[in-house]
Amino acid sequence: MSYHLPCVLMRGGTSRGPFFLADWLPTDPAERDRTLIAALGSPHELQIDGLGGGNSLTSKVAIVSRSGHAGCDVDYLFAQVSVDEARVDTRPNCGNMLAGVGPFAIEQGLVPPSGTGDVTRVRVYNVNTRSRIDVQVQTRGGRVHYEGDVRIDGVQGTAAPVLMNFLDAWGAVTGQIFPTGQRIDTLHGLPVTCIDAAQVMVLVRAADLGLRGDETPAELDADTALLARLEALRCEAGLRMGMGDVSGSVLPKPVIVSPGAAPGSTVSRYFTPRRCHRSHAVTGAIGVAAATVLPGTVASDARTAPSAGTRRVEVLHPAGRIHVDVELALLDGQCTLVQAALVRTARKILEGTLFVAEAAAHP
């Protein structure tokens, strides 16, 4: 036996997964998670019996509903479905999947397209991190446009731009941008920066690990000693940040950083957390960019004086680069984050009925 539910499969940035209205899924969180596990085809390394692609980047879910939060149009709950375990994690956010939330919300009638101009603003509340993001979607003629001339690294072809402006994702999970109270901590003999800026991460310099910084994901994934070292750093960072035992969580994310060749650029290798991302998480890029412009971190240039204004950071990843515009303000002589913006693209792949094995979703 199987039961069916509506589903829209979308690419958001460099990720892909099914998008659901909250009303389409069970209201009980445990039953909902069992449904998502069955829908993606987990646990199986190929996810052959579901929509998953056998990779954490294609084993993601977006759940959207009308927002009850002041000043927001829709709520967005992100769910990371494990590929090889029957587990769903709703603690992290995903900025790549977020790129599809605006188009999905407009097409599902949650937000009317702009009656004037070619752009519709969708005010999104991210349930995972309790933060707000303004998303601008191309809606010429009153409908969503996916076709365009914007290219993002890690995705073939071009598409319409989706501008995302993160307004208050600073310390959203732990309560502080620097949860340990320090901009640099020493963990297992290594200087690291623990940061909560759109994503909770622990940053470590490539040179301190004996790396160049531009290694490929395959090279890094093959280095079992390095992976074990990063996991030890990650777990210790979780304790230092007040997150407790994070061995069963995807947060914090370990990130290896090194200076880019050009001013304002940082080379980043972002882990998900036990494999190196083939490109880069959007929220992770914002966190890396923030660490680059805020003085005193392992990613910042000690020669850069604190200053207010908007700075563009080029985050270099295995598939190319992401440009992040970070706005800073000076408060009592200290730099603080105001907002961060970047451009992604999205595409609707299919819309229809998803059949889920009832025995898997309702054991």
The answer to whether residue 196 sits within a structural domain is: yes
* 46 plus 95 within the same structural domain: yes
Rounded average pLDDT over 327-334 = 82
* 198 plus 324 within the same structural domain: yes
pTM: 0.86
Rounded average pLDDT over 49-58 = 93
Rounded average pLDDT over 338-343 = 92
Predicted confidence (pLDDT) at residue 267 exceeds the cutoff of 80 = yes
Total count of domains within the chain: 2
* 65 plus 208 within the same structural domain: no
Nearest-angstrom CA–CA distance, 102 and 136: 7
Rounded average pLDDT over 315-326 = 94
| C-alpha pair distances (Å), 117 with each of 36, 89, 101, 105, 107 | 37, 38, 20, 18, 17
* 253 plus 299 within the same structural domain: yes
Hey, which residues does 324 pair with through a beta bridge? 313
Sign of CA dihedral 137, 140, 146, 147: negative
Rounded average pLDDT over 127-144 = 94
In DSSP notation, 197-247 reads BSSEEEEEETGGGT--S---HHHHHH-HHHHHHHHHHHHHHHHHTT----T
* 329 plus 356 within the same structural domain: no
Average pLDDT over the chain, rounded to whole? 93
* 351 plus 294 within the same structural domain: no
The answer to whether residue 168 sits within a structural domain is: no
The answer to whether residue 178 sits within a structural domain is: no
* 144 plus 232 within the same structural domain: no
pLDDT score of 361:
62
The answer to whether residue 310 sits within a structural domain is: yes
Rounded average pLDDT over 212-239 = 96
Nearest-angstrom CA–CA distance, 307 and 19: 40
Among 73-77, 128-132, 175-179, 303-307, name the one with the lowest average pLDDT: 303-307
Nearest-angstrom CA–CA distance, 283 and 166: 9
Rounded average pLDDT over 132-151 = 95
The answer to whether residue 180 sits within a structural domain is: no
* 279 plus 327 within the same structural domain: yes
pLDDT score of 362:
67
Predicted confidence (pLDDT) at residue 186 exceeds the cutoff of 90 = yes
pLDDT score of 87:
93
* 41 plus 190 within the same structural domain: no
* 130 plus 274 within the same structural domain: no
Which is more confidently placed, 262 or 216? 216
The answer to whether residue 167 sits within a structural domain is: no
Residue type, position 86, single letter? A
* 121 plus 189 within the same structural domain: no
Which residue range is the domain that position 71 belongs to? 2-161+346-361
pLDDT score of 335:
79
* 9 plus 154 within the same structural domain: yes
